[in-house]
Amino acid sequence: MITGASSGIGESTARELRRRGWLCVLVARREELLQALAADLDGEYEICDVSDRAAVESMAARVLERHHAIGLLVNNAGIPARGTFLSVHPELIERVMAVNYLGGVWCTRALLPGLEAARGEGGAHVVNLASVAGTVAFAPAGAYAASKHAQVAFSRSLRAALAGSGIRVHTVMPGFVETEAFPQRGVLESRLLRRFVIEPPRVATAIADAVDKDKAEVVVPWFPYRLLAVLQALFPGLISRFAGMSDYRSDRV
């Protein structure tokens, strides 16, 4: 089951997992795109806004009625929030937390019976698609970074809570990825950062490999983002200055 599956990383992940033999249940808000992708992949789809806890519970009940066991949940749904905490609209701060962080919490809780049922059928997996922004504070997207910090904390905590249960939790943290919702090459001001923008299929492969190889945390690509995360922990002031020097183009925010 993949949330945010109608485009970008979610769509690429669905295609990669189908190639590896998974039956995919696609979840997002745009029915026309989901319907076409589900037909192409011989899968299923559900319309749901993952920030709405009641809607998630209703969606999960429908899926579990059809499939008693869920072998893999990919919490991928996410939205951008460009701007500092001082400039971004308050409603967007609330929205990005509700989708990027709480959406994964609600989906995991609602689908837990299916994940538990899959333990005896080869094991179950939860992949939380976080971001390097979850380990490095990026001021030009403060609310987004905060939502991803929360998501990383949720993922690590969930992995510890489910240790030994047969449900494995994986955290995948890509850097800048070019998608419909995140047109990084067009909005990033820094030429240096634009050089490290990657495409969704690379992240999709990392997600599938994390499951197949039981990797707890994956950074995509490793360089330079894992290095930045280490430097953030060791020298937060240095990274703060670097983040302050980076920004989005004012004409594209």
Alpha helices in the chain (DSSP H): 8-19, 31-41, 53-66, 90-96, 103-117, 142-161, 184-187, 191-194, 200-212, 222-234, 236-245
3-state secondary structure of 171: strand
133 and 181 Cβ atoms separated by less than 8 Å: no
Q: Amino acid identity of 116?
A: E
Among 29-38, 44-53, 140-149, the range scoring the smallest mean pLDDT is 140-149
Pick the catalytic residue: 45, 101, 144, 225? 144
For the chain, what are the domain ranges? Answer: 2-245
- How confident is the model over 104-137, as pLDDT tens digits? 999 999 999 999 999 988 799 999 999 998 888 7
Does residue 139 carry a pLDDT above 50?
Answer: yes
Predicted TM-score (pTM) of the model is: 0.89
Q: Which helix (H) or strand (E) holds 196?
A: none
93 and 81 Cβ atoms separated by less than 8 Å: yes
pLDDT score of 244:
53
pLDDT score of 136:
84
- How confident is the model over 38-60, as pLDDT tens digits? 999 999 999 999 999 999 999 99
Does residue 77 carry a pLDDT above 90?
Answer: yes
Does residue 98 carry a pLDDT above 70?
Answer: yes
Q: And the tokens for 26?
A: 């696609």
- How confident is the model over 169-228, as pLDDT tens digits? 999 999 888 887 666 656 555 565 667 688 999 999 999 999 999 999 999 987 766 777
8-state DSSP, 198: B
pLDDT score of 193:
66
What is the rounded distance in angstroms from the CA atom of residue 178 to the CA atom of residue 186? 9
pLDDT score of 253:
45
For residues 141 and 105, which has the higher predicted lDDT (pLDDT)? 105
Q: Mean of the per-residue pLDDT values for the chain? A: 89
pLDDT score of 222:
77
pLDDT score of 180:
79
| 45 classed as catalytic | no
**CATH fold group of domain 2-245:** Rossmann fold (3.40.50)
Radius of gyration, alpha carbons of the chain: 18
User: Tokens 């959406």 belong to which residue?
Assistant: 103
pLDDT score of 107:
98
Does residue 167 carry a pLDDT above 60?
Answer: yes
Dihedral (CA of 10, 12, 13, 18) sign: positive
Does residue 25 carry a pLDDT above 80?
Answer: yes
- pLDDT band for position 240 (50/70/90)? low
Question: Of 79-93, 129-143, 149-163, where does the model show the most confidence?
Answer: 149-163
Does residue 36 carry a pLDDT above 60?
Answer: yes
3-state secondary structure of 248: strand
